[in-house]
Structure 1
Amino acid sequence: MQLELRHLQAVCRIAEAGSLGGAARRLGVSQPALSAQLRRIERVTGGELFVRGRSGVEPTALGHFVLAKARRVLSEMDALGAEARAISTGTPLRLGCILLVLIDGLLAQTDLFMSGQEISVDLEDSVTALARMLGTGQYDAIVYGEVNEHEVPLPAGVLARTLVPKEPFCIRLSAQHPLAAQERIELADLAGESWMTLVEDDDGGPEALVAACGQAGFTPSLRYRITDRMMHYDLIAAGRAISLSQPTAPQVAGTVMRPLVGNPITGRIRLAWNRAAVSAGQAELLYRAAARAYLANVDNNRFHKDWWDAHPELQISLGGEPSAAGTPTP
């Protein structure tokens, strides 16, 4: 038997998962089948690659050597695929997103930064679905959000980069609401209101809202889940609901946006891409396009502009390096 790429991938997945069972689930095979495959690989390499430890399997000295070589080969193959796609004509870059404020501007920015590269863009309601489709090759890159400490698991073979490490969510409510005249709102003062349910239900947002309201002494009444922006705004303007909102959201007639005291709910915006489909150069251009799109909205609301200016350590950098899947970077 000769070693193939799938064998190298199996060895890497075992090391990443720390167990045969975990690696088998990631690879979509049974644990006995993976164990048999590992034994065949070990016969070719001439010895054991893993031994059982207290917390799972651990690489042997030979295993560390094989892993280093395997990762290098797989990285080169990923680069080959990505760079070939970048050079070839007629191959669109497939971008998946959730409904973030920056998306409208991102479409224009990608035209400027990635001239000559055709890009197709789809919106999804589920961050989990975005990550899964990135892993299966349906998307080449995704832009998504995470709320508070929630981290979206990313598939293997993916690199990720944090665009906005932290932004405080605010409240959108009717301009006629009794609290509209206040500069900042206590979350506890919103008990008894009808809330818009967040469109994404797997980015940590619903849990963060319920937890923050619980600490404020009430359970939010999640009454509406509406994806149409104008209907969403009309209900709020009519005083029938309130909603969490990104602080960069636009002003809308009949509504106002106010920050919450203590910033109990914050968001993070990230870019992730399949390194076998997107070259380092393309990823950098995509990151810059997203950064410009976000920065164009910072002035939408004075309270956020003031907060943004007061936190230079969190501001978008057009430098820096990407991280491996699942590892946030500032």
Structure 2
Amino acid sequence: MQLELRHLQAVCRIAEAGSLGGAARRLGVSQPALSAQLRRIERVTGGELFVRGRNGVEPTALGQFVLAKARRVLGEMEALGAEARAIATGTPLRLGCILLVLLDGLLAETDRSMSGQEITVDLEDSVTALTRMLGAGRYDAIVYGEVNEHEVPLPEGTLARTLVPREPFCIRLSAAHPLAGSDRIELADLAGESWMTLVEDDDGGPEALVAACAKAGFVPSLRYRITDRKMHYDLIAAGRAVSLSQPTAPPAAGTVMRPLAGSPVTGRIRLAWNRSAVSAGQAERLYRAAAQAHLANVANHAFHKEWWDAHPEVHPLLD
């Protein structure tokens, strides 16, 4: 038997999972089948690659040597696929996004920065759907958000980079609302309002809103879930609802945006990509395009521009 890429992948998965059972689940095979495959691999390499320890299986000295070589070979193969796709003509880069403010400017930025490569962009309501389709190869890269401490699990074979690590959500409310003239709003003062539910329900947002409201002493009335921006804004302008909002969101007639005291809900924006489909250079250009699209909206509201200037640690890395 000669070692193949699938054998190297199996060895890496066993090391990552720390157990044969966990690795078998990741690989989609039975544990006995993986055990038999490992024994065949060990016959080729000349000795045991793993021993059972207190916390599962651990690589032997030989195992560590094989793992280092396997990771290098698999990395080279992934880079080969990504760089070949980058060079090939007529191969569009498939980008998936959730409804982030930066999406409006992202297309123009990618057109400028991606050297004429065709890019297709699809919008999804679910972060889970985005990551699942990234793992299945439907998307080559995704741009998504996470709220407060929530972390979205990413499929194997992907890399991720944080665009904005922390940014406080604010409140959009009617310009005729009694609190519209406030410089900053206490969340408890919105206890009697009807709320727009965040469009995404699996990025930690709904849980963060409910938890913040509970801390403020009330349970929010989550009455609306509207994906159409105009209808969303019209309901707020009419005084029928208030909504959490990214602070970079554009102004809308009849509404105002105000910061929340204490910043109880914050958002994070990330870029993830499939290592075998997106080269390092493409990932860097995507990152810069998304960063420029985000920066274009930072000054939409004076209170957020002031906050942004005071927190350089959250700025995208563009040097």
TM range (shorter): over 0.9
Q: Give 3-state SS (helix, strand or coil) of 1:201's partner.
A: coil
- State how far apart, in whole Å, the 2-side matches of 1:22 and 1:318 are: 39
Of residues 47-56 and 102-111 in structure 1, the stretch that sits farther from structure 2 once superposed is: 47-56
* CA deviations over 1:247-283 (Å, ceiling 9, x no partner): 0000000111111000011001001111111111111
User: Which residue is 1:62 aligned to?
Assistant: 62
Describe how 1:195-214 pairs up with structure 2 within 5 A: 195-214=195-214
- The one-letter code of the counterpart of 1:10 is A
Kindly state the Cα deviation for residue 153 of structure 1 after the two structures are TM-superposed.
Answer: 0.9
Kindly state the Cα deviation for residue 32 of structure 1 after the two structures are TM-superposed.
Answer: 2.1
User: Which residue is 1:324 aligned to?
Assistant: none
User: Which residue is 1:2 aligned to?
Assistant: 2
- State how far apart, in whole Å, the 2-side matches of 1:6 and 1:145 are: 33
Of residues 174-183 and 100-109 in structure 1, the stretch that sits farther from structure 2 once superposed is: 174-183
User: Which residue is 1:115 aligned to?
Assistant: 115
User: Which residue is 1:13 aligned to?
Assistant: 13
Q: Give 3-state SS (helix, strand or coil) of 1:273's partner.
A: strand
Describe how 1:214-233 pairs up with structure 2 within 5 A: 214-233=214-233
Of residues 39-48 and 144-153 in structure 1, the stretch that sits farther from structure 2 once superposed is: 39-48
- State how far apart, in whole Å, the 2-side matches of 1:64 and 1:95 are: 36
- State how far apart, in whole Å, the 2-side matches of 1:91 and 1:196 are: 39
* CA deviations over 1:54-82 (Å, ceiling 9, x no partner): 22221111111111000000000001001
Of residues 6-15 and 83-92 in structure 1, the stretch that sits farther from structure 2 once superposed is: 6-15
- State how far apart, in whole Å, the 2-side matches of 1:188 and 1:34 are: 55
Kindly state the Cα deviation for residue 126 of structure 1 after the two structures are TM-superposed.
Answer: 1.0
1:266 aligns with 2:266: yes
User: Which residue is 2:248 aligned to?
Assistant: 248
In structure 1, the gaps of 5 or more residues are 320-330
Of residues 13-22 and 88-97 in structure 1, the stretch that sits farther from structure 2 once superposed is: 13-22
Q: Give 3-state SS (helix, strand or coil) of 2:263's partner.
A: coil
The runs of at least 4 aligned residues of structure 1 exceeding 3 Å deviation read none
* CA deviations over 1:213-270 (Å, ceiling 9, x no partner): 1111111111111111111111111111111100000000011111100001100100
* CA deviations over 1:138-196 (Å, ceiling 9, x no partner): 11100000111111111111111110111000011111111111110001111121111
- State how far apart, in whole Å, the 1-side matches of 2:234 and 2:34 are: 55
User: Which residue is 1:278 aligned to?
Assistant: 278
Of residues 231-240 and 243-252 in structure 1, the stretch that sits farther from structure 2 once superposed is: 231-240
- State how far apart, in whole Å, the 1-side matches of 2:133 and 2:204 are: 19
Kindly state the Cα deviation for residue 128 of structure 1 after the two structures are TM-superposed.
Answer: 1.3
- The one-letter code of the counterpart of 1:88 is A
Q: Give 3-state SS (helix, strand or coil) of 1:2's partner.
A: coil
Could you state the TM-score of these two structures normalised by the residue count of structure 2?
A: 0.98
Q: Give 3-state SS (helix, strand or coil) of 2:121's partner.
A: strand
Kindly state the Cα deviation for residue 123 of structure 1 after the two structures are TM-superposed.
Answer: 0.6
- The one-letter code of the counterpart of 1:157 is G
Of residues 52-61 and 307-316 in structure 1, the stretch that sits farther from structure 2 once superposed is: 52-61
Of residues 47-56 and 286-295 in structure 1, the stretch that sits farther from structure 2 once superposed is: 47-56
- The one-letter code of the counterpart of 2:305 is K
Q: Give 3-state SS (helix, strand or coil) of 1:156's partner.
A: coil
Kindly state the Cα deviation for residue 115 of structure 1 after the two structures are TM-superposed.
Answer: 3.0
User: Which residue is 1:179 aligned to?
Assistant: 179
Describe how 1:15-94 pairs up with structure 2 within 5 A: 15-94=15-94
- The one-letter code of the counterpart of 2:118 is E
User: Which residue is 2:144 aligned to?
Assistant: 144
- State how far apart, in whole Å, the 2-side matches of 1:12 and 1:32 are: 17
- The one-letter code of the counterpart of 2:159 is L
Q: Give 3-state SS (helix, strand or coil) of 1:165's partner.
A: strand
Q: Give 3-state SS (helix, strand or coil) of 2:223's partner.
A: strand
User: Which residue is 1:328 aligned to?
Assistant: none
- State how far apart, in whole Å, the 1-side matches of 2:294 and 2:17 are: 35
- State how far apart, in whole Å, the 2-side matches of 1:32 and 1:197 are: 47
Kindly state the Cα deviation for residue 31 of structure 1 after the two structures are TM-superposed.
Answer: 2.0
- The one-letter code of the counterpart of 2:262 is G
- State how far apart, in whole Å, the 1-side matches of 2:95 and 2:214 are: 36
Aligned residues: 319
Kindly state the Cα deviation for residue 131 of structure 1 after the two structures are TM-superposed.
Answer: 1.1
Kindly state the Cα deviation for residue 30 of structure 1 after the two structures are TM-superposed.
Answer: 2.0
Q: Give 3-state SS (helix, strand or coil) of 1:43's partner.
A: helix
Q: Give 3-state SS (helix, strand or coil) of 1:202's partner.
A: coil
- The one-letter code of the counterpart of 2:171 is I
- State how far apart, in whole Å, the 2-side matches of 1:225 and 1:35 are: 49
- State how far apart, in whole Å, the 1-side matches of 2:124 and 2:28 are: 25
User: Which residue is 1:124 aligned to?
Assistant: 124
- State how far apart, in whole Å, the 2-side matches of 1:201 and 1:34 are: 37
Q: Give 3-state SS (helix, strand or coil) of 2:83's partner.
A: helix
* CA deviations over 1:108-134 (Å, ceiling 9, x no partner): 000111131000000111111111111
- State how far apart, in whole Å, the 1-side matches of 2:118 and 2:295 are: 24
